[in-house]
C-alpha cells in the first residue's frame, strides 16, 4: 500500500528515481519529496527482488545515530551557504535530523515540533516507507538544493548505495555537486 497525501498544499514537490552506485538490475527505488514552510513529507518505494536485502523490523519511534549501518533513507537540504541538513530514518522507526556547518562536519541534532510520523509496508516485491516531520524553527522554503539517498543492506551484510546522482567512484551523498536544485 502506497501512502497517499494531498499534494495541493505543498509549495515544492519533487519526484526522483534513485540510481545505484554499483549497477544492478534487480531493484528500482523511487522517491517523492514535499516541502512547505514548516513540514517535510518524504516517501520511498522500492520494487524488485527484495529477498536479497534486509529491512530492520519495526521497533519504536526514537532518535538514533548511525542508521546508515543498516537499511535507511536520507534527505539532504542546503541553501546558499556551506551548511546543510541531513535527515535519516529507518524501517525500524529510528530517525534523526542534523545540521552540519560544512562538508561532513560534526552533525548537531535539531529540535522538531513533534515526533515524526513513519509508516512502512513490505510485500514480496515492494517496500514503501513514508516520513513526515515538522520543524520548530526551520523554514524549509529557504532551501535551494536537495539530495535523496538510500542505503540498502544485503543479506550478506553488504551496503548498496542509491542516490539521485553519483559523481565519484565512491558513494558520497554529502557532496554538494550531487545535489539538485529545488524548483
User: Is 159 within a domain?
Assistant: yes
CA distances, 130 to each of 15, 61, 65, 172 (Å): 14, 13, 19, 24
Mean pLDDT of the chain: 91
* Residue 97 CB burial class (10 angstroms; 0-12, 13-18, ≥19): buried
Query: Residue 147: inside a domain, yes or no?
Result: yes
The answer to whether residue 95 scores a pLDDT higher than 90 is yes
Q: Does residue 41 fall inside a structural domain? A: yes
Residue 2 class from Cβ within 10 Å (0-12 exposed, 13-18 middle, 19+ buried)?
exposed
Checking if the pLDDT of 48 tops 60, the result is yes
Strands (E) across the chain are located at: 12-20, 27-35, 39-48, 53-54, 62-63, 72-78, 84-89, 94-100, 108-109, 117-122, 126-134, 145-154, 159-163, 180-181
CATH number at residue 45: 2.60.40.1190
pLDDT for 111 equals 86
Is there a domain that residue 64 lies in? yes
7 has a pLDDT exceeding 50: no
Domain count of the fold of the chain: 1
1 is a domain residue: no
Domain limits for position 152: 13-181
Please check the confidence at residue 56 and state whether its pLDDT lies above 60: yes
Residue 2 lies in a domain: no
In a domain, 141, yes or no: yes
> Residue 61 domain-assigned?
yes
What pTM was computed for the model?
0.91
Q: What pLDDT is recorded for position 1?
A: 42
Amino acid at each position: 500500500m502506497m501512502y497517499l497525501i494531498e499534494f495541493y498544499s505543498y509549495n515544492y514537490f519533487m519526484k526522483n528515481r534513485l540510481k545505484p552506485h554499483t549497477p544492478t538490475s534487480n531493484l528500482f527505488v523511487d522517491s517523492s519529496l514535499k516541502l512547505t514552510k514548516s513540514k517535510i513529507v518524504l516517501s520511498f518505494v522500492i520494487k524488485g527482488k527484495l529477498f536479497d536485502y534486509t529491512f530492520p523490523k519495526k521497533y519504536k519511534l526514537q532518535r538514533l545515530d548511525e542508521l546508515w549501518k543498516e537499511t535507511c533513507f536520507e534527505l539532504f537540504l542546503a541553501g546558499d551557504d556551506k551548511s546543510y541538513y541531513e535527515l535519516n530514518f529507518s524501517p525500524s522507526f529510528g530517525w534523526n535530523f542534523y545540521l552540519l556547518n560544512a562538508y561532513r562536519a560534526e552533525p548537531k541534532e535539531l529540535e522538531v515540533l513533534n515526533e515524526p510520523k513513519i509508516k512502512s509496508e513490505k510485500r514480496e516485491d515492494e517496500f514503501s516507507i513514508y516520513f513526515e516531520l515538522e520543524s520548530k524553527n526551520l523554514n524549509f522554503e529557504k532551501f535551494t538544493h536537495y539530495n535523496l539517498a538510500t542505503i540498502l543492506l544485503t543479506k550478506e551484510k553488504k551496503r548498496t548505495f542509491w542516490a539521485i546522482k553519483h559523481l565519484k567512484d565512491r558513494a558520497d551523498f554529502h557532496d554538494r555537486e550531487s545535489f539538485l536544485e529545488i524548483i
